[in-house]
Structure 1
């Protein structure tokens, strides 16, 4: 029978490399998530709000 060995605990310390990785992943989530958010918010805007400059991010009145 094979001898069981104890597993080493996983280290969840924040290292500089892991912090950079998390920042890159967060940036990619924002980069790819913002167009979905913008499309969803645009579906509730009036034509005037869609053509406004500066752009209206959250509509005043949801339609």
Structure 2
């Protein structure tokens, strides 16, 4: 994954992290018959979500983002 530098307000960061929690829940609750392939796909999706969470948790927090009120 390529590196991206983010500058977010605390509110923006919290909103994005909350959205990722919903995404993770939707992956977990998606009705599928269990197979090894389904399990591998879910783990891949969880890893992608975790990468995004780590990126957001490492984002530089600013007082206010440009162009956002």
Same-fold call, TM > 0.5?
no
TM-score, normalised to structure 1, is 0.41
TM-score, normalised to structure 2, is 0.38
Decide which structure has greater helix share. Answer: 2
Computing the radius of gyration over CA atoms, which structure comes out larger, 1 or 2?
1
Structure number with greater CO (CA < 8 Å, separation at least 6) is 2
Decide which structure has greater strand share. Answer: 2
